[in-house]
């Protein structure tokens, strides 16, 4: 389930066109275009890249060596949004990957075999290093094993201990720091030809913390009733820069400052969320969502909610890269330790108890009417146990849960009529519970 | 009189329920669903309105001196004649459109003597109408498509000869024609429909000379002629967005099945509905309010259509599956509920020498096992448990369910109404009633009037 959206890419048909473009959106778009262009010409300019995953990644460390991060989940979800994933997946299946394999993996492999064009339509370079930070998703290991097989790139693994007991202990932190020192930094030095520069890293981490502060403000603005933002569909854009290649950059700092100002302005004007189809109508339902969205029908999927007046006030998916709920911000004074905490604290690395606690907290803090779980058929790591989560949150909060399944980027597993039917049924159930007063109306 | 209508547009059938102002059921109607939703709605509603006339008749009969012992058979006879009149009218339409379809089909089968064969078949069907509706005659279905279709099929098989008059050519005419027949509403004038049926029934039941006849006739004429004002209507089911209702009068099947099941059995806590393409497990509170639900996702394996497909594969009627499976002595173990695989599974097992009834028993069990897993997902079965939808009419499905419920959840009351197929429509009608008469009047009618 590890994925998150970038902003609309530079190709015209690539992503949802917002009815009213905010300045931050344009900025994000430019950031992406520049980043992917740098990658496209990196063989000529001599810039090197590191492929790594979204959850709990080490973007600042990678950047401190002047290396460019590449996130395969982002490429896959972008391919889904650009309607390319179906072909890519079929290509991967032709190569022998089973129908039940994670759709992101197959999309990535298929893309690699189709000219490896990135989200902006420009070619992606072969990875100079595969940095496998293992954070809860066991498919990550196989994924990079496959990429290594395809590209013959060197691979380095950072083993991130699972928060099985729901907390980070000092020995867990030491274990990760030791690996960063002894394995990851030397690997990055080899690829970049530069020495580790801790001061530079501290600067990056300082900027990360600034951007994080603004992002948290934006996400938590949804606690207001009515909410000024959508904390799921719109939030996947908001978390794009921070969870991918831009954490620690000045661009990210500017982006989040600008975004925050826009949301503050929206609050001043008393405006609700904006959607690809224009400003949302009156808020009727406040929902918490667990699980990533479907990308192949992203806009259609979003519309099923906003057209019914349903706003997603909080989502675990917008915490997939890193969780800031408990006050965590990158700490430049303890550079390696803070990165270790970030790695271990991401949503995919949390145990059931922590996930349930988090969802219950969202239900209360964000005054939600219900919890909806979008379960991913091809994701074995995170779909397991979601029904248990649902029951537990229902029992603890007394708020009704809903559950439905489709897929991330495999268009064959998204049947709009059926998904719409389930969402409508769920919302009508909420409405009945809210207005019924003990009598079905 | 005021009444309230609920319509459930299903993937297999469209159902309508009419309520009076006290919420009592006045009538039910059902028809095959088809591509034209507006017509399916109108036909189901028309059927239900006809049914209302019989309910009103039944209510009136005791007052005009017809006791229960006589009124029951009389009403049955009255309905038989009324159905006969309807069937004849539909046969007339079939004759007309089938004849008109001949040239189009002929172009694919140049030398086949199609026209005379079709004429003959239609004549035989016409002649067989009385027999179909004689007292006590068994009718496998209430749908014109099924009744006329099975006779037509038989006659076509007899007349077909390979190379000369292909069976496919004869059936092609029927297949094209029946769609048009179903899409045409039959609106009989009183004297050709109800009025005629009343007179026939009076004679047939030996009441013609009865001194109560004038009162009886007046009561029946009132029951069939009384103005019915639809005060409000609600819709549900697949394609409900296309139902001719304003959005606020459309409810999801989940809510409708929950409320409908609660109305049928007020102690209902858990509802299982197996429909054509959905299986739903619903939990409701003591007021019929849905508290949680689960539906099959991504795939319709194990839904009602699965059984429909199997019936086709075995050349059986859907209603024959359950009884046949009851005869199983050594049920076969089948785990796949993939509808497409089912055909291969059946053929494979038949070649292995396994009996049809044993295979069928296994297929039924597979369907119910899948439903059980969905129920578990929704929070399990609580007392009382109500089973609805078309599959609730299948004896084997019910007996397998009963066993599995007992095994997994112990002693739980299992409710099945003979009218379970109308649960969703009943729920919709109750929503219409509760929304009150202040809502728009019957939108179906309005739409038709606007179109007429």
ipTM of the complex, rounded to two decimals: 0.71
- In angstroms, the CA A226 to CA A262 distance is 17
- At residue B264, the pLDDT reads 96
* pLDDT over 80 (residue B373): yes
Cα-only R_g, chain A:
21
- At residue A100, the pLDDT reads 83
For the segment B260-275, the average pLDDT, to the nearest whole number, is 95
- At residue A103, the pLDDT reads 94
Instruction: Count contacts between A and B (CB, < 8 Å).
Output: 73
Would you say the CATH fold of B266-416 matches that of B1-61+212-265+422-452?
A: yes
- 3-class secondary structure, A426: helix
| Cβ contact B292–A400 (<8 Å) | yes
Task: Identify the top-confidence range among A18-27, B341-350, B359-368.
Answer: B359-368
Closest residue, chain A, to B249 (C-alpha): A441
- At residue A238, the pLDDT reads 97
- At residue B189, the pLDDT reads 83
pLDDT category of residue B239 using cuts at 50, 70 and 90: low
User: Fold for domain B1-61+212-265+422-452?
Assistant: Nucleotidyltransferase; domain 5 (3.30.420)
Nearest to A405 among B297, B379, B431 (CB): B297
For the segment B221-236, the average pLDDT, to the nearest whole number, is 90
- 3-class secondary structure, A370: strand
* pLDDT over 50 (residue B447): no
- At residue B171, the pLDDT reads 93
- In angstroms, the CA B352 to CA B371 distance is 28
Name every residue whose Cβ is closer than 8 Å to that of residue B451 and which is 6 or more positions away in sequence: none
Name every residue whose Cβ is closer than 8 Å to that of residue B320 and which is 6 or more positions away in sequence: B311
- At residue B450, the pLDDT reads 37
- 3-class secondary structure, B236: strand
* pLDDT over 80 (residue B77): yes
Whether residue A284 contacts residue A176, with contact meaning beta carbons closer than 8 Å, is answered with no
Q: Which is it for strands A274-275 and B270-274: parallel, antiparallel or unpaired? A: unpaired
pLDDT category of residue B344 using cuts at 50, 70 and 90: confident
Closest residue, chain A, to B257 (C-alpha): A425
Closest residue, chain A, to B234 (C-alpha): A441
* pLDDT tens-digit readout, B190-201: 888 899 999 999
Query: Chain B partners of A413 at a C-beta cutoff of 8 Å?
Result: 298
- 3-class secondary structure, B276: coil
* Residue A64 Cα, gap to closest chain B Cα (Å): 45
Nearest to B294 among A394, A403, A413 (CB): A403
Closest residue, chain B, to A373 (C-alpha): B294
Specify the CATH class of B266-416 in words: alpha beta
Is B182 touching A (CB cutoff 8 A)? no
* pLDDT over 50 (residue A13): no
Cα B426–chain centre separation: 14
For the segment A186-199, the average pLDDT, to the nearest whole number, is 98
**Chain B interface, best mutation among A410, A425, A430, A436, by max B CB count within 10 A:** A425
* pLDDT over 70 (residue B446): no
For the segment B11-16, the average pLDDT, to the nearest whole number, is 87
Closest residue, chain B, to A375 (C-alpha): B297
Task: Identify the top-confidence range among A305-319, B47-61, B102-116, B341-355.
Answer: A305-319
Nearest to B287 among A413, A429, A438 (CB): A438
For the segment B388-415, the average pLDDT, to the nearest whole number, is 94
| Cβ contact A440–B377 (<8 Å) | no
Give the residue, B251 or A324, on which the prediction is more confident.
A324
Whether residue A399 contacts residue A393, with contact meaning beta carbons closer than 8 Å, is answered with yes
| Cβ contact B254–A404 (<8 Å) | no
* Residue B235 Cα, gap to closest chain A Cα (Å): 13
- At residue B262, the pLDDT reads 97
* pLDDT tens-digit readout, A314-323: 999 999 999 9
* Residue B295 Cα, gap to closest chain A Cα (Å): 8
Helix and strand numbers, DSSP H then E, in chain A: 19, 10
Domain boundaries, chain B: 1-61+212-265+422-452, 67-206, 266-416
- In angstroms, the CA A202 to CA A335 distance is 6
- Return the residue matching tokens 């408990």: A326
Is B131 touching A (CB cutoff 8 A)? no
Is B297 touching A (CB cutoff 8 A)? yes
Closest residue, chain A, to B294 (C-alpha): A403
Query: Chain B partners of A400 at a C-beta cutoff of 8 Å?
Result: 291-292
- In angstroms, the CA A344 to CA A321 distance is 10
Whether residue B369 contacts residue B331, with contact meaning beta carbons closer than 8 Å, is answered with no
pLDDT category of residue A15 using cuts at 50, 70 and 90: very low
- At residue A440, the pLDDT reads 61
- At residue A19, the pLDDT reads 44
* pLDDT over 60 (residue A168): yes
| Cβ contact B289–A436 (<8 Å) | yes
Q: Which is it for strands B270-274 and B279-284: parallel, antiparallel or unpaired? A: antiparallel
* Residue A401 Cα, gap to closest chain B Cα (Å): 7
For the segment A92-110, the average pLDDT, to the nearest whole number, is 92
- In angstroms, the CA A225 to CA A366 distance is 9
Is B301 touching A (CB cutoff 8 A)? no
For the segment B372-381, the average pLDDT, to the nearest whole number, is 90
For the segment B65-90, the average pLDDT, to the nearest whole number, is 89
- At residue B186, the pLDDT reads 79
Query: Chain B partners of A401 at a C-beta cutoff of 8 Å?
Result: 292
pLDDT category of residue B406 using cuts at 50, 70 and 90: very high
Burial of residue B138 (number of CB atoms within 10 Å: 0-12, 13-18, 19+)? exposed
Closest residue, chain B, to A414 (C-alpha): B298
* pLDDT over 90 (residue A99): no
* Residue A416 Cα, gap to closest chain B Cα (Å): 10
Q: Say how many Å lie between the first and final Cα of chain B, rounded.
A: 24
Element (H, E) at B429: helix B423-435
Q: Side-chain half-sphere of B127: how many Cα atoms within 13 Å?
A: 7
Closest residue, chain A, to B297 (C-alpha): A405
For the segment B58-67, the average pLDDT, to the nearest whole number, is 85
Closest residue, chain B, to A411 (C-alpha): B298
Check residue B303 and report its DSSP letter: S
For the segment A106-126, the average pLDDT, to the nearest whole number, is 95
* Residue B446 Cα, gap to closest chain A Cα (Å): 24
Whether residue A133 contacts residue A57, with contact meaning beta carbons closer than 8 Å, is answered with yes
Query: Chain B partners of A415 at a C-beta cutoff of 8 Å?
Result: 298
- Return the residue matching tokens 């086709």: B312
| Cβ contact B292–A425 (<8 Å) | no
Query: Chain A partners of B254 at a C-beta cutoff of 8 Å?
Result: 425, 428-429
Whether residue A231 contacts residue A276, with contact meaning beta carbons closer than 8 Å, is answered with no
For the segment A138-153, the average pLDDT, to the nearest whole number, is 94
Domain boundaries, chain A: 23-436
* Residue B299 Cα, gap to closest chain A Cα (Å): 9
* pLDDT tens-digit readout, B129-143: 988 888 888 876 778
Whether residue A56 contacts residue A344, with contact meaning beta carbons closer than 8 Å, is answered with yes
- In angstroms, the CA A64 to CA A204 distance is 7
- In angstroms, the CA B257 to CA B285 distance is 13
Query: Chain A partners of B252 at a C-beta cutoff of 8 Å?
Result: 421, 424-425, 428-429
Angle between helices B144-159 and B114-127 (to 10 degrees): 130
- At residue B243, the pLDDT reads 66
- Read out DSSP for A2-19? -----S--SSTTSS---S
- At residue A5, the pLDDT reads 40
Give the residue, B434 or A330, on which the prediction is more confident.
A330
Q: Side-chain half-sphere of B367: how many Cα atoms within 13 Å?
A: 37
């Amino acid at each position: 389930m590890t994925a998150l959206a970038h902003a609309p890419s530079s190709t015209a048909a690539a992503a949802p066109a917002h009815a009213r473009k905010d300045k931050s959106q344009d900025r994000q778009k430019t950031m992406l275009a520049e980043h992917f262009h740098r990658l496209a010409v990196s063989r000529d300019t001599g810039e090197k890249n590191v492929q790594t995953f979204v959850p709990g990644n080490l973007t600042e460390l990678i950047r401190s060596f002047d290396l460019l991060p590449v996130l395969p989940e982002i490429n896959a979800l972008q391919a889904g949004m650009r309607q390319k994933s179906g072909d890519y997946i079929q290509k991967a299946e032709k190569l022998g990957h089973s129908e039940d394999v994670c759709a992101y993996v197959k999309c990535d492999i298929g893309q690699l075999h189709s000219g490896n064009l990135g989200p902006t339509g420009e070619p992606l370079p072969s990875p100079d290093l595969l940095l496998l930070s293992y954070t809860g998703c066991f498919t990550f290991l196989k994924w990079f094993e496959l990429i290594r097989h395809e590209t013959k790139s060197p691979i380095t693994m950072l083993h991130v201990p699972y928060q099985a007991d729901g907390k980070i202990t000092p020995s867990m932190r030491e274990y990760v720091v030791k690996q960063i020192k002894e394995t990851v930094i030397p690997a990055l030095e080899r690829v970049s030809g530069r020495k580790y520069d801790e001061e530079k890293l501290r600067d990056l981490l300082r900027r990360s913390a600034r951007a994080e502060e603004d992002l948290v403000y934006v996400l938590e603005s949804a606690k207001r009733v009515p909410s000024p933002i959508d904390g799921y569909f719109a939030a996947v854009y908001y978390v794009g820069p921070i969870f991918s290649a831009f954490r620690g950059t000045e661009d990210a700092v500017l982006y989040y400052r600008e975004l925050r100002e826009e949301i503050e302005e929206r609050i001043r004007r008393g405006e609700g969320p904006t959607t690809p189809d224009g400003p949302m109508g009156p808020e009727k339902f406040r929902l918490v969502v667990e699980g990533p969205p479907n990308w192949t029908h992203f806009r259609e999927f979003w519309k099923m909610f906003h057209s019914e007046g349903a706003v997603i006030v909080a989502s675990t998916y917008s915490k997939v890269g890193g969780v800031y709920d408990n006050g965590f911000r990158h700490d430049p004074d303890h550079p390696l330790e803070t990165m270790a905490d970030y790695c271990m604290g991401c949503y995919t690395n949390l145990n059931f108890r922590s996930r349930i606690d988090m969802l219950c907290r969202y239900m209360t803090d964000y005054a939600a009417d219900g919890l909806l779980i979008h379960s991913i058929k091809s994701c074995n790591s995170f779909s397991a146990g979601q029904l248990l989560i649902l029951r537990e949150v229902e029992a603890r909060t007394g708020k009704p849960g809903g559950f439905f399944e489709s897929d991330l980027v495999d268009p064959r597993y998204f049947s709009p009529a059926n998904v719409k039917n389930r969402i409508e049924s769920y919302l009508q159930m909420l409405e009945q519970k809210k207005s019924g007063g003990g009598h079905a109306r | 009189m005021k009444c309230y209508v609920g319509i459930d547009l299903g993937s297999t059938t469209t159902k309508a329920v009419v309520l009076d102002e006290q919420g009592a059921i006045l009538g039910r109607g059902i028809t095959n669903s088809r591509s034209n939703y507006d017509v399916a709605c109108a036909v189901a509603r028309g059927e239900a309105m006809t049914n209302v006339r019989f309910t009103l008749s039944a209510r009136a009969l005791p007052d005009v001196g017809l006791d229960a012992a006589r009124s029951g058979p009389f009403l049955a006879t009255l309905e038989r004649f009324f159905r006969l009149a309807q069937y004849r009218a539909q046969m007339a339409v079939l004759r007309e459109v089938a004849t008109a379809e001949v040239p189009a089909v002929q172009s694919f089968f140049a030398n086949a003597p199609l026209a005379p064969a079709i004429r003959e078949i239609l004549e035989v069907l016409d002649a067989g109408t009385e027999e179909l509706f004689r007292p006590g005659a068994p009718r496998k279905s209430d749908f014109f498509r099924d009744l006329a279709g099975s006779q037509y099929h038989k006659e076509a098989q007899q007349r077909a000869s390979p190379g000369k008059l292909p069976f496919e050519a004869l059936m092609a005419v029927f297949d094209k024609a029946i769609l048009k027949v179903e899409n045409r509403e039959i609106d009989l004038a009183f004297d050709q429909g109800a009025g005629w049926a009343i007179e026939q029934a009076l004679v047939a039941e030996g009441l013609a000379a009865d001194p109560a006849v004038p009162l009886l006739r007046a009561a029946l004429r009132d029951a069939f002629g009384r103005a019915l004002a639809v005060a409000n209507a609600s819709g549900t089911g697949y394609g409900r967005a296309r139902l001719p209702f304003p959005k606020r009068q459309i409810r999801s099947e989940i809510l409708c099945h929950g409320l409908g099941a609660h109305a049928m059995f007020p102690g209902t806590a858990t509802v299982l509905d197996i429909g054509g393409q959905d299986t739903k497990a619903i939990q409701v509170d003591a007021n019929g309010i849905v508290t949680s639900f689960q539906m099959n996702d991504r795939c319709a394996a194990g839904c009602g259509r699965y059984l429909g497909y199997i019936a086709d594969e075995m050349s059986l009627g859907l209603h024959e599956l359950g009884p046949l499976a009851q005869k199983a002595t050594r049920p076969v173990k089948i785990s796949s509920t993939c509808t497409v695989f089912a055909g291969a599974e059946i053929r494979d097992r038949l070649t292995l020498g396994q009996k049809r009834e044993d295979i069928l028993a296994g297929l039924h069990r597979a369907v119910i096992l899948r439903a059980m897993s969905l129920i578990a997902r929704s929070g399990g079965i609580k007392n009382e448990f109500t089973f609805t939808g078309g599959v609730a009419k299948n004896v084997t499905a019910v007996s397998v369910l009963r066993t599995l419920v007992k095994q997994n959840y112990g002693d739980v009351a299992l409710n099945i109404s003979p009218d379970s197929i109308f649960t969703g429509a009943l729920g919709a009608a109750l929503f219409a009633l509760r929304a009150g008469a202040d809502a728009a009047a019957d939108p179906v009618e309005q739409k038709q009037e606007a179109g007429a």
